[in-house]
Amino acid sequence: MKNIFEGIPDRLEEEIFEQIPTGKLIRIERILSKGHSSPDSGWYDQDWNEWVLVLKGEAVLSFEDRMPVRLKEGDFIDIPSHMRHKVSWTDPDRTTIWLAVHY
């Protein structure tokens, strides 16, 4: 047994992506961010859908063709495949813990 809140470092030089056991058609990740964001240039443009939940912390997702979305603890969003998006902000003062399901 494991706990999603265990093993979180105090300092995060880089964003951490940890894969949780997956299957053929699904991939689950725990993502740890602290003041991290996507590069200014470029967008995520994925061939799969992504369901994202913020377990702790806060973040802002930006989209190419719609308004940004602020996610707080407990908030989730489903991002359809090829919806161009990026992380424009995460809380710099505390670790944001994400659960991402790629399907």
Q: State pLDDT tens for residues 42-101.
A: 899 999 999 999 999 999 999 999 999 999 999 999 999 999 999 999 999 999 999 999
User: Who contacts 34 (Cβ-Cβ below 8 Å, separation ≥6)?
Assistant: 12, 57, 90, 91, 92, 94, 95, 96
One CATH from 2.40.50.140, 1.20.210.10, 2.60.120.10, 3.30.960.10 for 16-102 = 2.60.120.10
Predicted pLDDT of residue 16: 96
Is this structure's pTM higher than 0.75? yes
Predicted pLDDT of residue 70: 98
In this predicted structure, the answer to whether residue 21 has a pLDDT above a threshold of 90 is no
| Residue 69: both structure tokens together | 């979305």
Mean pLDDT, residues 15-22: 92
| Residue 96: both structure tokens together | 């944001």
Predicted pLDDT of residue 51: 98
Predicted pLDDT of residue 45: 96
What are φ and ψ of residue 39, in 5° steps? -60, 150
- Would you tell me how many other CB atoms lie within 10 Å of the CB of residue 35? 14
Predicted pLDDT of residue 81: 98
Predicted pLDDT of residue 31: 98
In this predicted structure, the answer to whether residue 22 has a pLDDT above a threshold of 90 is no
